[in-house]
Amino acid sequence: MYVAVKGGERAIANAHKLLAERRRGKRSVAALGLEQIVEQLSLAVDRVMNEGSLYDRHLAALAIKQARGDLIEAIFLLRAYRTTLPKLGYSTPVKTENMLIERRISATYKDLPGGQILGPTFDYTHRLLDPALAGEEAVFSLEEGPISPNNFVRVSDILAQEGLIEEDGRLNGAKPNDITKEPLDFPMGRDTRLQALARGDEGFLLALGYSTQRGYARTHPFAGEIRIGEVEVEYFIPELGYVVIIGRIQITECQMVNQFSGSAKVPPQFTRGYGLVFGQSERKAMSVALCDRALRANELGEDIVAPAQDEEFVIAHSDNVQATGFVEHLKLPHYVDFQSELDLVRTMRRDFEKAKDAVRSTACGLHEKQEKQKTGEVSSER
């Protein structure tokens, strides 16, 4: 006799116990410390801070550890924590021109005021696995010069002096929209879109940016400037009537400069694609900038012909916490709906067989008639 299975509660508890066990792994191996993750897996930490929309290295490290290194799971953990925090206000726009620069490159000028600074980059490394890193690493120390706040002028500002590039976008209204407080509404302003892109999935945006380079809405991009470094975060306190510095964050800024031959709406000039993200996240900043530019198609009067230009398509599917939730929800029971579909398919199948039988019997009838005609049996009917 069938008895409905009970005990979901115990099964869940046991599964989670096993998860904790597997997360810790072999006890003979030392447990990972958060400092180790912050220091030695810092680019993973940066990604989790970006897509988790929360600048806190230690919480991001904790999330990575708890998620067993699954970065989307870590991003989800951080987001679910962030949403419970009080939202006190908005900083003034960060002044990236005053950045303490650690890396700054431009692909549009050979040399420029301040120069090209490579900084800590994978670029030009040979991707050869380094066996020396497998064991204890030799201790070496690098003599680092002090980073000077030498106020490098931004490449886009150099172009702007000549009037060859469009102006930086201006915010409509005093306050930016806030996608963590307001529902997304299509079509959206560029401020809203850039926020969504900043927390969008790196892989998804990378692929879309790539698609524009391969001819799906070509935007003729040049990496005008990529800069990485620390900026001060300032907050205007109305009670005091002035701005105070509340902290410093590391960010990556990418200004794409896109050649643009003009449209009915806009004269020929260089246009911008912009990406700003937490930490050292160059690939992400560049992908955001490519997508930002592609998504400005409507504003600039370009034909919308490719996925990367389609705001609803890009923004509605860029959030990996939403995407993973909905994809993975297919694991939840669906047997009620499946039952309805089973019924339907059985009915349709019966109809199909009936129809086939009907066709077969008519065909048989015809065949018999023909046979009879051949043998002359039906001749008497004439």
Chain contacts with another protein (rule: CB under 8 A) = 2, 4-9, 11-12, 76, 79-80, 82-84, 86, 180-187, 312, 316, 321-322, 324-329, 332-337, 339-344, 347-348, 351
Query: Exposure of 307 by Cβ count < 10 A (0-12 exposed, 13-18 middle, 19+ buried)?
Result: middle
Spatial contact of 92 and 236, defined as CB atoms under 8 Å apart: yes
Residue whose structure tokens are 């993200």: 277
* β-strand partners of 252: 228, 277
| Rounded CA separation 147/149 (Å) | 7
What residues contact residue 359 under an 8 Å CB cut-off, 6+ apart?
none
Q: Which is nearer to another protein, 175 or 248 (CB)?
A: 175
Q: Which is nearer to another protein, 82 or 220 (CB)?
A: 82
CB of 309 to another protein, least distance (A): 14
CB of 210 to another protein, least distance (A): 23
Q: Which is nearer to another protein, 6 or 110 (CB)?
A: 6
Q: Which is nearer to another protein, 67 or 289 (CB)?
A: 67
SS3 60: helix
CB of 318 to another protein, least distance (A): 13
Spatial contact of 64 and 48, defined as CB atoms under 8 Å apart: yes
DSSP 341-364: HHHHHHHHHHHHHHHHHHHHHHHH
Element (H, E) at 56: none
CB of 56 to another protein, least distance (A): 15
What residues contact residue 154 under an 8 Å CB cut-off, 6+ apart?
96, 97, 225, 227, 255
Residue whose structure tokens are 């066990």: 21
Q: Report the amino acid identity of residue 188.
A: M
CB of 349 to another protein, least distance (A): 11
Q: Which is nearer to another protein, 80 or 245 (CB)?
A: 80
Q: Which is nearer to another protein, 72 or 208 (CB)?
A: 72
CB of 249 to another protein, least distance (A): 21
State the number of CA atoms in the 13 A half-sphere of 223 facing the CB. 19
CB of 182 to another protein, least distance (A): 5
Q: Which is nearer to another protein, 83 or 172 (CB)?
A: 83
What distance lies between CA 27 and its chain's CA centroid? 35
